[in-house]
Amino acid sequence: MSLNVDAIRAQFPILARKIDGNPLVYLDNAATTQKPQAVIDAISHYYTHSNSNVHRGAHTLADEATRLFEGARDTVAEFIGAASRQEVIWTSGTTEAINIVAHGMAKRLRSGDTVLVTEMEHHANLVTWQQACLNSGAQLIVSPIKDNGELDIDAFTANLSDSVKMVSMPHVSNALGTINPITTLIPLIRAKTSALIMIDGAQGIAHGGVNVQELDCDFYAFSAHKIFGPTGMGVLWGKKAVLEAWPVWLTGGEMISTVTYQQSTWGELPNRLEAGTPHIAGAIGLAAAIKWLSELDMQDVHQHEQLLMNTATEYAQAFDGLTIVGNAADKIGVLSFVMDAGHPADIGFLLDKQGIAIRTGDHCAQPLMNRLAVPGTARASFSIYNTAQEIETLFNALKKVQMMLA
């Protein structure tokens, strides 16, 4: 059974837009995915019919909102294979989730300890650990990548030692599309260190197949807007035994057990790490996105995305004056490239005038761009609703861009 892409596209209202008279070709999915009508409807229905703060309210709307909100937690727990719903912590996104872990880890790190990251990190998984090390006296070690954008496994292994207390790395590189072999790396880390392991899953989650228990990491973080859900919403998953002892991130309402004027005690998971009024509509929208995605045959989804990636790569390799940046053997649908004809920003501007949306710049990975000796890249990234025809449209447009910039 093949994916019915036309039927899927029909569920995304924004794809019917035109930009400067041209049909929208949306190829910026690594930045954020578009939202199906099912997600839009779920959020609208909540605000229209059940809008209320959650928990403790003694009225019908509060009860309805709470059931939707906590039901969303159950949906996420099932989707990622969590052992308990208490392991699912709502955040504003991957960045906040990593900060929660780094904030707590900074209280544990000591001089002589090390934190291991990679050269392909998004700033959210680099700057955050820089600060944790600066605040604790620990050392940040950056494990190198190969020129093709793959992690250097031998160098990574050599960096594993008793001093490593935290390993934090991406499931998938947002800038290159490289899929890290985390199912191989996590057991390797376990065998050689006592480190905690955090996976930045922002780019990996939308492609399915994440089972946190099988992975055996300690933390996994992702954002709703990368998986067809709303912005401003994310998840930190952590092993219950680890989260129960984790230092609180924010204090205030909802996360307490008892309060006096002199002292306070914290509630149980997940409340202890969720201070304040949550993004209720965000959780509901994320649950709707997961339910929508789960109705698709993920094998068909993977085959479709791989076909798009292969097609784009073939076009790119045959395009004189265009160089692919990141040629890992195992990639998701991300094509980063530079052109002899002009700067990535100019490429993006001229493509937009033809109705094509891509991302340009350093992709929140400045050190990686420096490592690869490029000023930034143009990045086309593909999702379920993209087509081979759109890829052909992209490269026809790039021909026009090349002539305009020559």
Supply the residues annotated as catalytic.
Answer: 364
User: Which helix (H) or strand (E) segment is 119 a member of?
Assistant: none
Q: Answer for the pair 220, 237: CB distance below 8 angstroms, yes or no.
A: yes
Say if residue 399 is exposed, middle or buried (CB neighbours under 10 Å; 0-12, 13-18, 19+).
exposed
Q: Answer for the pair 198, 58: CB distance below 8 angstroms, yes or no.
A: no
Residue 56 backbone class (left: φ over 0; alpha: ψ -120 to 50; beta: rest) = left
Residues 6+ apart with CB under 8 A from 215: 182, 183, 186, 199
- In a 3-state reduction of DSSP, which class is residue 142? strand
Q: Answer for the pair 24, 15: CB distance below 8 angstroms, yes or no.
A: yes
For strands 359-361 and 356-357, give the pairing.
unpaired
Instruction: Give the strands of the sheet with 164-170, arranged side by side.
Output: 88-91, 234-238, 219-223, 196-200, 164-170, 114-118, 139-143
- In a 3-state reduction of DSSP, which class is residue 151? strand
Q: How far apart are CA 178 and CA 185, in angstroms?
A: 14
Q: How far apart are CA 392 and CA 370, in angstroms?
A: 30
Radius of gyration of the chain from its Cα atoms, rounded to whole angstroms: 22
Q: How far apart are CA 246 and CA 229, in angstroms?
A: 28
The closest of 293, 211, 277 to 69, measured between CA atoms, is 277
Can you tell me which residue has the tokens 């709307």?
61
Q: How far apart are CA 166 and CA 235, in angstroms?
A: 20
